[in-house]
Structure 1
């Protein structure tokens, strides 16, 4: 299943039923899980771990050194989870000493020409559409959908189940369960369609809507909104997750559309 016109370093570990198409290069200390397909003209450089049942399309480069002037040759890696698809010309860089790795989770779809920089953590079941740019040290939660040609500033945080409109410039953190759109990027409602598809009940979606009504629509600043939520709404996993995300966002979260809140 490994074409004779490939270059596989003898120190690489290739699992069972792996297909590697011609003109692909695989470097040292690379691990490829079973049943993975690697297309032609793929470059997998050193210190990369790829899971089972992945699909990697032509032109993709995984494990190149970071585009970070502070990188000093430290021993870092890229980790790709099971069932993930990387489409044409995706680039994923190794980590730096800041974190030590760049990680993409299970069952993700990273579409053509997107870039994931050093020290990023991408969760499970994430879809990143064509031409997105993810700068260094970005964290993206599970089930995020990022529209094409979007860009995330370094150290950004995106919560779980977020839907991002295409062409967005993301300079602020995005809390979980919401949609964001417009320019500048701002709150555009709850990702109710995505939540229903993933089994959230109407009552749970209504609870999340009430929380974000306080955050974005009741003319309170962030501190006042959190105090109101903690006082008026019963503790739940989702409530506490939203509060914790907002409180742990040094750069602040996106604002409501047309809001001047600080």
Structure 2
């Protein structure tokens, strides 16, 4: 396979998922460029200050040919040490009656310090700062056409398979809450989407409270004409796992979803 023409390699890697692409990229310098180029076509990022800032820096350095972006949103409870130890969202067993050895206690204390730092940093975020970071990301992806906004937990209430989410949970020993809305993140995107006419598809997965989203406020809140969202190239909106009853989105005629 080392001598395969690049065109054939490119076609081959286009059928692989992200994990397979990254693994194959490590096997040979011959595959490295093709695999990383293909992997960059669909970027995934966790909606945390650290992850968004890291992605902003990464794409400014590399200018990937990204066509799809998925943003995973999660919410973590704020706890003191005892609440954190006993919380049902604990990743590892931190119960005081189990973590008796000095090493286990030290590991738990270190994880709690990471958790408190994470909560403090996330609590310092502002709406203005979040919108500015999203603008920086979208403006650095000139070929972006599709955006997916998803809750970090699946429909089965299990955390989705995402490397950033997995690392964070292992570091702070706490999963994100199984329930939580994505309306704040959706609202931020709807504010800036009019600046990016190339965006054609918007997919939303998670609980969405329409009355909380300024750009979608209408009466009644269960009918949203897409012409209320000033995105001229937007042709497709998909909604999944919704908790708002019957929802209709209308883009001229016929409906655009």
| TM-score above 0.5, yes or no | no
- Greater share of helix residues, 1 or 2? 2
- Greater share of strand residues, 1 or 2? 1
- Under a length normalisation based on structure 1, what TM-score does the superposition of the two structures give? 0.22
Structure having greater relative contact order (Cα 8 Å, sep ≥ 6)? 2
